[in-house]
A and B are shown apart, each in its own frame.
Chain A
Amino acid sequence: MPTRLTLKDHLFESRLVMQRAIVLLVIAGFLCLTLFSRLLYLQVIAHEHYTTLSENNRVKLQPIPPNRGLIYDRNGILMAENLPSYRLEITPEQIVDMAVTLDALSAIIDIRPSDRMRFEQLVKRKPRFEAIPLLFHLSDEEVARFSVNRHRFPGVDITAGLARHYPLGQLAVHAIGYVGRIDEQALKDLDSSNYRGTTHSGKIGIEKTYESLLHGKVGLQQVETTAQGRVLRVLNRMAPESGRNLYLTLDSRVQRAAEAAFGDFSGSAIAIDPQNGHILAFVSLPTYDPNLFVNGIDYAAYAALKDNDHQPLFNRALRGQYPPGSTIKPFMGLAGLEQGVSTPHSKTYCPGFYTLPGKERKYRDWKRTGHGTVNLETAITQSCDVYFYDLALSLGIDNIHDYLEHFGFGRATGIDIVGELSGLLPSREWKRRRHDQPWFPGETIITGIGQGFFLVTPIQLAIAAAALANGGHILQPNIVYADQAANTSALVPYPSRLLENITISDQHHWDDVIEAMVGVVHGPRGTARAIGADSPYRIAGKTGTAQVYGLKQEEKYNAAEIDEKLRDHALFIAFAPVEQPRIAVAVIVENGGGGGSVAAPIARKIMDAYLLGKKP
């Protein structure tokens, strides 16, 4: 009965398989329930948590750097601007063979080995989808040459950005300064959250002093990104706040005239408005091109600047400390009058030298034959040393120190450019402290003609000259007179600051000294009469000559240059017009020789440029 048997088996097997199938279905159902509870947990219970994670995943904050404020001179001439600058960028993920691409690129655009090295290092550090700059500041020609060949270079692009540019180049570089790439040192001083996205910050000069105003406030945008960080769209944007524009007190015309007037000489000149302390010209020569520093100066160019014997990077106007020489004489004369030690008519006989009572040593006058009998006026116009030796001795170092201190000597003027030095106004107390030595009378004598320990900076000398011009007001020098929010026309002026009023016991004393200074320029025997002869306005001035040792440089002994290096510094201070002074000037020409022949003509050109609007 095989058929029956099979049939019976068939029923049994059918039931067996059905049972087993149900068991499996139950197990599958149980597994599905497990899955459902898992899904309920993920999608309902922990939904919030995962929503947060998902938001964090896709939305990133990106900084938008603000546009840096512009810098104008007092006439609205642009001195620092932001120019579009073209960069060549490569996105590594789109490049098949980087070496081949770079080689092909260098056939059309010059790629320096240093650029290539820097780029290759960046490639290793940055994500592959990020465009990495290979070259900065492409020239128009380079842009054109690349554009023609662009189809050959997928993944290579030219992008435009803004880069700081100084259209006037070297002009007033020591005042304006420059910006440079933010390095680790700079990062410490900057607010890192505000500088997210910013690549450059002010390194020296106004760019540094006013960094916080010029920089502005960073903007932010919320962007949706892919997992690789590629930006897809902007969700939310908080615009950056551009930096404020600065209006300088500098007059670029006067500045240019001043810098040109020096010729090949090194030195410094400050022109200042004695009514408000506005700096009209701020010269330190030689200068250099700040544009070199914006995107990192190359080593050779930097070494050339640094090793230059004339030290172009040195800010002489603020940090150059020179003996004032005879330019101190008007102040000494005033000291004598105001302290009651001398009168305008006190006479001194000048035999060409001076000796301390009972001493052998002769203190020579610059004029070996002597000036004969001199009073204050002739002593200033002819710059007689002996008169001031005698006056200094009569005053004593303490009186000299105390009186000259009022004019701002020996302390920083507080100009709004960083790095100013304070000069040195010697005193008994200072010498004890500094050298642990008593003060000697001989040192008083040479202090009387601005030699010895006495050191001034050009800016100090200019402030003191301005004080003579304005009747004793010591002003804080000011190089920015207003700022301005971007895209507005309203200027926010900066107030002038009066630091000190010098008390005048008798106005005649001042008039006499100033009259004597007028004699220096306009008198028949004045030391600067060469510049007074054809002057359409009246100038009060004083020449000076300083023996070289003030500028402490690590000079190498160089026989060929020794003569020039040992030459005296030529100085000149002046203000004009005498009746209503509008400009006060201090000029120091390093190794220039005579104050009257070298420094005074420079001062005249500066004053002409300002008062007469003469072009250099």
Chain B
Amino acid sequence: MNIAIGRHHEDASKRGWQYRLHLDAPLLFTLIGVCAYGLIVLYSAGGGSIEIVERQIVRLGIAFTGMFFVAQVPPRLLLRLTPWAFVTGVLFLLAVLIAGETSGGAQRWLDLYVVRFQPSEIMKLAVPMMIACYLADSRLPPNRWQLLASALMIAVPVLMIAKQPDLGTALLIASSGFFVVFLAGLQWRLLAFFSVLVAAAMPVIWHFMHDYQRQRVITLLNPESDPLGSGYHIIQSKIAIGSGGLFGKGWLNGTQSQLDFLPERSTDFIFAVLGEEFGFLGILLLFAFYAIIVVRSMMIAIQAQDTFTRLLAGSLSMTFCVYFIVNTGMVTGLLPVVGLPLPMISFGGTSIVTMMAGFGILMSIQTHRKLLAT
């Protein structure tokens, strides 16, 4: 053990500060870059108020600190903690359903007297960790029983969160779980089979949806049907993005955003502010940041040294991908409005802390590698 530690330290010193601090430079600087970009957009989206920017900086500070601490946790310890985290998360979700606080028509919050938090945030990390932990325990690809067990472990928290109801988060967690299973080598035949099954289940899902969720789907298909009601968000955000053009209207000059036509412009619809004020080129810049993050995360996944970290890293990076694709898809009118923030840009929420914790895990995976084969 002592030897191992000594060698580890030796390796770390050889490979520089990134390994000493367990941080990944490309990922870290891109994240800082995209957050800075986000603050610029947020200043404008908040109507030129520095207060909202200050509050976001505080949040980001917490998130980056959280990321730093998570990055110090070696993956093996993480693996050992995983089942406990998962079980605790499910229990919290149960508590939310029984005694949660209602906010904005949804029961998502749990008041622990000290902090008020959404247990669903824990599950964003706990579910992929759990599935990765479970599947990495035996040979890949998983057999049918393992798949069934995985499906159960995904379905239970997802359904509990969907019940709150928080469709966006449920979708995100379901996909993070699915990514683990897919990376683990889910057979194509089975995938095709399940796809058909899901398609067939659509009407059933529709039946169980809340009215407002159905309304969102209907609105997506024909936003003009209710331009002042539920279609208003999409129509106004399309106008904002479309009127931005190639180069945008300029910072703080977006009429749609500055004049209140754009709803939720500092949170879920902040992408429309960016599109209006910085144009297509501004969006391109954002996507460049995102692409670097995703590609770098995937590289970490591929370079990872054991199956658990590989699966987990791959799932985390793809989940991040889902985040911004779903958000931009909904703001541009390609997807229904599911209420997911634009990662690193949207104001507020605990989600940024969770997301950065996810990047902390990625950095930990990258920087706790041992030089084995070389």
- Tell me the A residues contacting B by CB distance below 8 Å: 9-10, 12-14, 16-18, 20-21, 24-25, 28, 31-32, 34-36, 38-40, 42-44, 46-47, 49-51, 53-54, 57-58, 224-228, 232
Known: A16-B141, A47-B243. A58 touches B255 (CB 8 A): yes
14 contacts between A and B (CB under 8 A): A9-B140, A13-B140, A16-B184, A17-B184, A17-B185, A17-B307, A28-B321, A31-B329, A40-B280, A47-B242, A53-B242, A54-B242, A57-B255, A57-B259
Establish whether residues A43 and B325, one from each chain, have CB atoms under 8 Å apart when the complex forms.
no
**What's the Cα separation between A58 and B301 when bound, in Å?**
48
A interface footprint on B143-184 (CB within 8 Å = 1, 0 otherwise): 000000000000000000000000000000000000100111
Establish whether residues B255 and A20, one from each chain, have CB atoms under 8 Å apart when the complex forms.
no
Establish whether residues B332 and A35, one from each chain, have CB atoms under 8 Å apart when the complex forms.
yes
Is B337 an interface residue, CB under 8 A from the partner?
no
- CB contacts (< 8 Å) of A34 on chain B: these are 334
Of B241, B243, B314, B329, most A-chain CB atoms within 10 Å? B243
- Option from A9, A17, A224, A232 in Cβ contact (under 8 Å) with B139: A9
**What's the Cα separation between A25 and B294 when bound, in Å?**
9
**What's the Cα separation between A276 and B76 when bound, in Å?**
113
Contacting A at CB under 8 A, from B231-281, are 236, 238-246, 255-256, 259-261, 275, 279-280
Given A10-B306, A51-B243, A54-B256, 14 more A-B residue pairs with CB atoms under 8 Å apart are A13-B140, A13-B185, A17-B184, A17-B185, A21-B183, A21-B314, A28-B325, A32-B287, A39-B275, A43-B245, A43-B246, A43-B275, A43-B279, A54-B243
Which residue of B is nearest A35, CB measured? B328
- Option from A13, A31, A232 in Cβ contact (under 8 Å) with B310: A13
Establish whether residues B245 and A20, one from each chain, have CB atoms under 8 Å apart when the complex forms.
no
Which residue of B is nearest A42, CB measured? B242
CB distance from B139 to the nearest CB of A (A): 6
Establish whether residues B246 and A12, one from each chain, have CB atoms under 8 Å apart when the complex forms.
no
Known: A17-B310, A57-B261, A227-B261. A24 touches B325 (CB 8 A): no
**What's the Cα separation between A327 and B294 when bound, in Å?**
108
Cβ-closest 4 pairs across A and B: A50-B242, A54-B243, A42-B242, A226-B260
Is B298 an interface residue, CB under 8 A from the partner?
yes
Establish whether residues A44 and B280, one from each chain, have CB atoms under 8 Å apart when the complex forms.
yes
CB distance from B301 to the nearest CB of A (A): 6
Which residue of B is nearest A12, CB measured? B140
- Tell me the B residues contacting A by CB distance below 8 Å: 139-141, 179, 182-185, 236, 238-246, 255-256, 259-261, 275, 279-280, 283, 287, 291, 294-295, 298, 301-302, 306-307, 310-311, 314, 318, 321, 325, 328-329, 332-334
Known: A16-B141, A43-B275, A227-B261. A38 touches B334 (CB 8 A): yes
**What's the Cα separation between A429 and B291 when bound, in Å?**
102
Which residue of B is nearest A54, CB measured? B243
Of A18, A32, A38, A54, most B-chain CB atoms within 10 Å? A54
Which residue of A is nearest B256, CB measured? A54
Establish whether residues A54 and B240, one from each chain, have CB atoms under 8 Å apart when the complex forms.
yes
Known: A16-B185, A20-B182, A39-B283. A54 touches B255 (CB 8 A): yes
**What's the Cα separation between A226 and B236 when bound, in Å?**
13
Which residue of B is nearest A40, CB measured? B280
Establish whether residues A28 and B294, one from each chain, have CB atoms under 8 Å apart when the complex forms.
yes
Majority secondary structure of chain B interface residues (helix, strand, loop or mixed) = helix
Establish whether residues A44 and B179, one from each chain, have CB atoms under 8 Å apart when the complex forms.
no
**What's the Cα separation between A226 and B287 when bound, in Å?**
31
Establish whether residues B243 and A53, one from each chain, have CB atoms under 8 Å apart when the complex forms.
yes
CB distance from B8 to the nearest CB of A (A): 20
- CB contacts (< 8 Å) of A38 on chain B: these are 332-334
**What's the Cα separation between A101 and B301 when bound, in Å?**
64
- CB contacts (< 8 Å) of B333 on chain A: these are 38
Which residue of A is nearest B255, CB measured? A58
Establish whether residues A31 and B325, one from each chain, have CB atoms under 8 Å apart when the complex forms.
yes
Which residue of B is nearest A232, CB measured? B259
- CB contacts (< 8 Å) of B329 on chain A: these are 31, 35
- CB contacts (< 8 Å) of A50 on chain B: these are 238-239, 241-243
**What's the Cα separation between A272 and B214 when bound, in Å?**
80
CB distance from B149 to the nearest CB of A (A): 19
- Option from B260, B301, B302 in Cβ contact (under 8 Å) with A227: B260
- CB contacts (< 8 Å) of B295 on chain A: these are 25
**What's the Cα separation between A51 and B240 when bound, in Å?**
8
**What's the Cα separation between A343 and B311 when bound, in Å?**
134
- CB contacts (< 8 Å) of A58 on chain B: these are 255-256, 259, 261
CB distance from A296 to the nearest CB of B (A): 34
CB distance from A28 to the nearest CB of B (A): 5
Establish whether residues A14 and B310, one from each chain, have CB atoms under 8 Å apart when the complex forms.
yes
**What's the Cα separation between A311 and B301 when bound, in Å?**
98
- CB contacts (< 8 Å) of B318 on chain A: these are 24, 28
Establish whether residues A24 and B280, one from each chain, have CB atoms under 8 Å apart when the complex forms.
no
- CB contacts (< 8 Å) of A225 on chain B: these are 259
Which residue of A is nearest B320, CB measured? A28
**What's the Cα separation between A20 and B186 when bound, in Å?**
9
- CB contacts (< 8 Å) of A44 on chain B: these are 245-246, 280
Of B236, B240, B242, B307, most A-chain CB atoms within 10 Å? B242
Of B140, B275, B291, most A-chain CB atoms within 10 Å? B140
**What's the Cα separation between A40 and B261 when bound, in Å?**
22
